[in-house]
Structure 1
């Protein structure tokens, strides 16, 4: 395996692909990368310190993104955060140069802005490649309009308003992408229900195999890995479908098992906690009270009182 190639600046990207020097040191929109240049770096892992948002229209070829190899489809929007690894294959090309674009920006561009404080909320930067966003013609046009405004702003004479306007347009772009992901979640309702069912099955198997005895409570990362889905995508998908994040859903599942044990067995609260995978019983009691409204002991008392009446 080749050693990773590190990209630390916009200027490095322009130099690597034979582009003219960037007009702004922290942000750039570039069109289609030269296929010959892509072939030169094919099969080389690239670790970039930049944010990247790319619309690929009519692209052939594939890239290794995270753990998955992704074959681009028409109108695919891919988000890459700093520190992620991308690896392109040789022989790719783009059929539609007019609609494809790559927005690159350095974290320093947004560091002191509202976007810098909330960029983590755009969880699609951490999705796997097979969870990319597919946009319609109307959506492509809307995003292209924002991209054109960003280019126009950094291409003009830079003044004290330039950075704020560039950043606000990047945030607007991300907000539209959030809307389009919501649309994609909604149009895949049947698939989402299958994933919700699969998620429940993963949790059931976790306890049937007694994995909690060695690993403690199930985690979102574990469930995502079992399902072949990134934790961020899984959590967002479940939130749209059930109103609960993946973490909330795990807590709900675990506490339902806890209720069954409290009312259906003579196990002490401590035993119930350990049998669910809690390392510290007090953490179980705290979570139970925060979600159920009463302590485990009070819940057991109330359940027995109802049974006696």
Structure 2
């Protein structure tokens, strides 16, 4: 028997949770107190095509996300992107959980500006230990927005229904961004330490005797036990540059030193810094420094 459960529709999701039929084909607000997870689903890996935002207000851990269990103390918000794998770690019956979960299919927001902006928002790929801890006031704000979404789902569909739903979901996400901004401020000392550790790792990587390729964000994120998205968001908040930009600018600074203080060819410098192709190094250098490596070495930069 397959260990994977692939749910493809809101109706299938409601059926899996033992809930009543949904009011809308592309969106649902599920009351967590109404769901049950059958014992026969234990150990299964669940995937869905939906974005989800969940606020859980009662202890219980029926799912495992990535390698971690949901670390839900009361008032913790978690976002999950489509096609992420959830492992069902324990069964539950109605009333074991409290809170809500919003699920919506990408087709609901396709053609709207939200589709582009949501893909750039790291919240949906943060690890569980990077979830948003809400104050009572913040919970009240999000609860009210989700209540409006739920009521709109149950209203008769008209020409404005989709616009209203998408706008209200966008409002929910914007408030989530605001509250994460507050959390980043309250955790400033912790984030400053992350920046310092990241910079140390970056320096040690290139100080090594042999650089094994241009480093990827995921390498440093793994070293720091963070998700790629959360690391990038912390760096962006603290330094103005995300993780990829920070790596690139560090590499370009190293390249400038080598160009001015060694007789190595541009190709040799490219390979030393981990580039597989010198042409890519030259394009990146020009994009960041404004001139080609050759022009910079000649004093034209």
Q: Write the distance in 1 (CA, Å) between the matches of 2:164 and 2:15.
A: 26
- 2:25 is aligned to 25
Alignment TM-score, normalising by the size of structure 2: 0.91
Cα separation, partners in 2 of 1:70 and 1:183, compared to 1, 3 Å:
same
Q: Give the Cα separation in 2 of the matches to 1:242 and 1:230.
A: 18
Residue 132 of structure 1 and its aligned partner are, at CA, apart by: 1.1
Match of 2:288 in 1: 291
1:307 aligned residue: none
Provide the secondary structure at the position in 1 that maps to 2:18: coil
What aligned pairs does 1:75-94 form with structure 2 within 5 A after superposition? Answer: 75-90=75-90
Superposition pairs for residues 3-18 of structure 1, below 5 Å?
3-18=3-18
Displacement of 1:14 after TM fit?
A: 1.4
CA–CA distance in structure 2, aligned partners of residues 96 and 102 of structure 1: 11
- Structure 2 counterpart of 1:121: 120
Instruction: Output aligned runs, 1:90-239, within 5 Å.
Output: 90=90, 97=98, 100-210=99-209, 212=211, 214=212, 216-239=213-236
SS at match of 2:52: strand
The correspondence for 1:258, drawn from 249, 255, 260, is 255
Q: Shift in Å at residue 34 of structure 1?
A: 5.0
| In 2: Cα distance, 1:289 partner to 1:4 partner | 47
Among 266, 271, 276, which residue is 1:274 paired with?
Answer: 271
Asked if 2 retains the 8 angstrom alpha-carbon contact of 1:122 and 1:174, the reply is no
> Displacement of 1:91 after TM fit?
6.3
Secondary structure in 2 matching 1:83: coil
Structure-2 separation of matches of 1:114 and 1:96: 34
Q: Distance in 2 between matches of 1:187 and 1:147?
A: 26
Contact 1:22–1:28, Cα closer than 8 Å, also in 2: yes
1:241 aligned onto 2:238: yes
Aligned to 1:306: none
Secondary structure at 2:276 match in 1: coil
Change (3 A) 1:74 1:254: same
> Residues of 2 paired with 1:154 and 1:84: CA distance?
25
Is the 1:62–1:71 Cα contact (8 Å) retained in structure 2? Answer: no
Deviation at 1:282, TM superposition (A): 2.5
Q: How far apart, in 1, do the equivalents of 2:35 and 2:12 lie? A: 17
